[in-house]
């Protein structure tokens, strides 16, 4: 099926579908080819008006016309040229070619304010004591591959390697994440908000905290409930912010204040004011179903 993008470049075609008369012409030509006079009589308008509509639709490729001999001399016979078309409202634009990637371990956060239930774990052991937020300040926190908190926030400092003459066009953040329930509860919604440089770019509701089966990469020694999360991709573009391709806000890259030589902050929050304050669980390499850290791609 032929496709056409819904944009200003194709306005001439789209305008053909904005007239009741032109839609009626399409309906009539669906039955059989007709000449200008027959169309004018069927729609009860003048032949001059029909001719203008036909010319517009012919230029758009919707109908085709040929001149033939009729009962009263030469006639312009019109027929449908197009059987169907797919209107593309959302079109994936080519992403910028130049980019760089940063893999941010989940334990290498720069700031936090968390409340129980909470804790950290490396691939080999628990870090500190469970449900004691003080251990989020333990120097060992950088070794964490898995962390969780019932409410609050955690913040990462992402290095910014853009040069002074380079403009950020697209920011992608991929991470494995879910809610945080005591033990686990797969029906435990959590409204998780994401902030870039202090600006809230959007909120996503995690459906639950998953622990009914082992995570693919979760260590065998781990028997503390949550096993894996969902892989989510947050994208901020020049057109807005999306989560897994679904628009979640109107925040654009130009609003983020990402400047030369200044790091980018990423805050992940479960605010107590949220309708569903269900906490946050993060998974890095060695935990969950996806063997990755927080992956950040910056395109310019």
Q: What is the pLDDT of residues 214-237, one digit of tens each?
A: 999 999 999 889 999 999 999 999
- Of the CATH numbers 3.40.50.300, 3.60.20.10, 2.40.50.140, 1.10.10.10, which one belongs to the domain with range 3-88? 1.10.10.10
What is the percent of the chain where pLDDT is above 70?
A: 97
Q: Tell me which CATH code domain 99-299 carries.
A: 2.60.120.260
CA distance 257 to 280: 26
Angle at 290 between CA 123 and CA 241, to 5 degrees: 120
Q: Examine the pLDDT at 200 and tell me if it is beyond 80.
A: yes
DSSP-based three-state secondary structure for 280: strand
CA distance 190 to 181: 9
- Angle of helix 36-43 relative to helix 47-59, nearest 10 degrees? 110
3-88 and 99-299: identical CATH topology: no
Q: Examine the pLDDT at 92 and tell me if it is beyond 70.
A: no
DSSP-based three-state secondary structure for 143: helix
Please report, for the chain, the start and end positions of each structural domain, with discontinuous segments joined by +.
Answer: 3-88, 99-299
Q: Could you tell me the pLDDT band of residue 94, with boundaries at 50, 70 and 90?
A: low
Each residue's pLDDT tens digit, 59-88: 888 999 988 777 767 888 999 988 888 888
pLDDT at site 183: 94
Q: What secondary structure letter does DSSP report for 92?
A: P
75-82 long-range CB contacts below 8 Å, 24 or more apart? 75/35, 75/36, 75/37, 76/35, 76/36, 76/51, 77/33, 77/34, 77/35, 78/25, 78/29, 78/33, 78/34, 78/35, 78/36, 78/39, 78/54, 79/29, 79/33, 80/26, 80/29, 80/30, 82/2
What does the block give as tokens for 279? 């906490």
């Amino acid at each position: 099926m032929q496709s056409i993008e819904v944009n200003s470049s194709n306005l001439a075609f789209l305008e053909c579908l904005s007239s009741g008369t032109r839609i009626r012409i399409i309906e009539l030509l669906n039955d059989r080819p007709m000449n200008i006079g027959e169309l004018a009589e069927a729609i009860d308008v003048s032949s001059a008006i029909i001719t203008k509509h036909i010319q517009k639709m012919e230029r758009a490729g919707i109908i085709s016309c040929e001149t033939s001999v009729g009962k009263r001399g030469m006639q312009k016979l019109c027929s449908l040229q197009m059987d169907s078309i797919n209107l593309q409202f959302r079109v994936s634009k080519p992403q910028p070619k130049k980019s760089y990637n940063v893999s941010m371990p989940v334990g290498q956060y720069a700031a936090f304010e968390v409340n129980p239930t909470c804790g950290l774990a490396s691939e080999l052991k628990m870090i500190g004591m469970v449900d004691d937020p003080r251990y989020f300040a333990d120097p060992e926190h950088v070794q964490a591959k898995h962390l969780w908190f019932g409410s609050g926030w955690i913040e990462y400092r992402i290095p910014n390697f853009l040069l002074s003459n380079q403009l950020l066009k697209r920011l992608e953040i991929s991470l494995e994440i879910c809610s945080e329930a005591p033990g686990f509860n797969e029906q435990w919604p959590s409204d998780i908000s994401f902030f870039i440089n202090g600006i809230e770019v959007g909120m996503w509701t995690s459906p639950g905290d998953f622990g009914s089966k082992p995570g693919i990469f979760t260590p065998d020694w781990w028997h503390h409930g949550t096993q894996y999360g969902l892989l989510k991709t947050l994208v901020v573009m020049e057109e807005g912010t999306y989560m897994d391709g679904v628009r979640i806000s109107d925040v654009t890259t130009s609003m983020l204040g990402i400047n030369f030589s200044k790091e980018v902050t990423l805050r992940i929050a479960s605010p107590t004011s949220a309708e569903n304050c269900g906490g946050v669980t993060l998974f890095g390499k060695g935990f969950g179903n996806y063997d990755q850290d927080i992956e950040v791609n910056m395109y310019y």
